[in-house]
Amino acid sequence: MDLTVIWAFIIAFAVFAYVVMDGFDLGIGILFPAFAAGRERDRAMNSIAPVWDGNETWLVLGGGGLFAAFPLAYAVILPATYPLIIAMLLGLVFRGVAFEYRWRDPGHQAFWDKAFTGGSFVAALAQGMTLGALLQGIEVEGRAYAGSWWDWLTPYTLLTGLGTVAGYALLGASWLIWKLDGEEQAHARKLAIRWGAATIVLMGAVSLYNIALNADYAARWLSAPEVYWVAPVPILTAIVALSMLRAILKDRNSKPFWLGIALFFLGMSGLGVTIWPYAVPEALTIWDAAAPERSQIFMLVGVAITLPLIIGYTAWAYWVFRGKVADEGYH
């Protein structure tokens, strides 16, 4: 068994866990201006207040894990996407403190609500653009980034950035369908339909752009025999996307959220297929970038012991706060 492959999957899992879990937190931040000040905003924020911190921790595992398991990839990707990473971090600062500050200072609640939205939007956009900057390729010389200052800013990265913003908003809205009721749930449904449609359109656009971007990517998806292996991904994506829109419309409770996660899972699988086996497309394979076996084994022991525990107590924390937010009949 190849440890490097296992580690690639662990990092991918951490990134996926981050994207869907903090995705709905950030999505709620992005949608915040659409909610009425007062009860609707309070309930939306309270639905994630007990879990956002744990959700965000997956980002640290993604970054820290990349540093530990693929140090060279970490050392190349971060300088290449420097302004995006800094913007994301600063966005997360505003988003994170807004959770506390907006309750501390009623006089400035409107300001912190804006900071919550601004921070969430900037973080989501920067994350999506970072993904795009990675997919479009990074110039590497020796063991370092060798590109220019603005390589990360292209129409393609803007597209992946907007796609991520839309996708997070979809997750946020479908989370709220689950956690809210009454008029507020109906409002969340409206938003979920709108952002769901946007997400599907942007996912399609990114997929087509990928094929146009790079001959290897195109070969991966369009030529035989690979096409037979990878064809289920777009087909399943289409099925999931339609069922999700249907679930949103048909008054389902938690189903839109789960199908939204499935949509993200398929989208990320598609991206995985696209760049495999590269950590940095066309420049560094996962084996080029991997840490030595001794480091991989040491960490794998830790992951094998702690990850099930983490998933266990995280699930417990969600279970504790299950049900509609402050619904009178909720025990």
Partner 1 sequence: MLENLDALLLARIQFAFTVSFHFFFPAFSIGLASYLAVLEGLWLKTGKSVYLDLFKYWLKIFAIAFAMGVVSGIVMSYQFGTNWSVFSDKAGPVIGPLMAYEVLTAFFLEAGFLGVMLFGMNKVGKKLHFAATLMVALGTFVSAFWILSVNSWMQTPTGYFVAENGQFMPGDSWTAIIFNPSFPYRLVHTVMAAYLTTAFVVGAVGAWHLLKDKANPHARTMFSMAMWMAAIVTPAQIFAGDMHGLNTLEHQPAKVMAMEGHFQSHPDGAPLILFGIPDSEAKEVRYAIEIPKFSSLILKHDLDAPLAGLDTIPDDEEPPVGTVFWSFRVMVGIGFAMLGIGLWSLWGRVRGKLYDMSWLHRAAVLMGPSGFAAVLAGWITTEVGRQPYVIYGVLRTADAASPLDAPAVAASLLAFILVYFTVFGIGVWYILKLMGKAPHAGEYGVKRGDTGPIRTAGITPGPTQNPLGDETLPTHGPSEKEPV
Distance CA 200, CA 198 (A): 6
Which tokens go with 66? Answer: 């990349």
Task: Number of residues interacting with partner 1: please give it, by CB under 8 A.
Answer: 72
Alpha-carbon distance 268 to 199, whole Å? 13
Q: Of 33 and 292, which has the nearer Cβ to partner 1?
A: 292
Minimum Å distance from CB 264 to partner 1? 21
CA atoms of 176 and 188, how far apart (whole Å): 6
CA atoms of 59 and 47, how far apart (whole Å): 20
**Is-contact 175 253, C-beta < 8 A?**
no
Stretch that binds partner 1, among 55-63, 218-226, 231-239, 270-278 (CB under 8 A): 55-63
Sites for partner 1 among residues 215-234 (CB under 8 A): none
CA 39: distance to chain centroid?
28
State the minimum distance, in angstroms, from the CB of residue 39 to partner 1: 6
- Residues 88-147, interacting with partner 1 (CB under 8 A): 89-90, 92-94, 96-97, 99-101, 103-106, 143-146
Per the CB < 8 A criterion, the answer to whether 209 and 156 are in contact is: yes
Residue 182 CB, nearest distance to partner 1 (Å)? 11
Residue 25: closest CA among 168, 213, 128: 168
Choice from 1, 215, 224, 320 touching partner 1 (CB under 8 A) = 320
Q: How far is the CB of 79 from partner 1 (least distance, A)?
A: 5
Which part of the chain contacts partner 1 (CB under 8 A), choosing from 39-47, 200-208, 215-223, 228-236?
A: 39-47
278 touches partner 1 (CB under 8 A): no
Of 146, 113, 101, 129, give the one whose Cα is nearest residue 31.
113
Hey, what amino acid is at 117? T
Q: By CB under 8 A, which span of 164-172, 204-212, 225-233, 305-313 interacts with partner 1?
A: 305-313
Helices 232-249 and 182-213: crossing angle in degrees, nearest 10, is: 160
Instruction: Write out the binding residues for partner 1, residues 64-93 only, by CB under 8 A.
Output: 64-65, 67-69, 71-72, 74-79, 82-83, 85-86, 89-90, 92-93
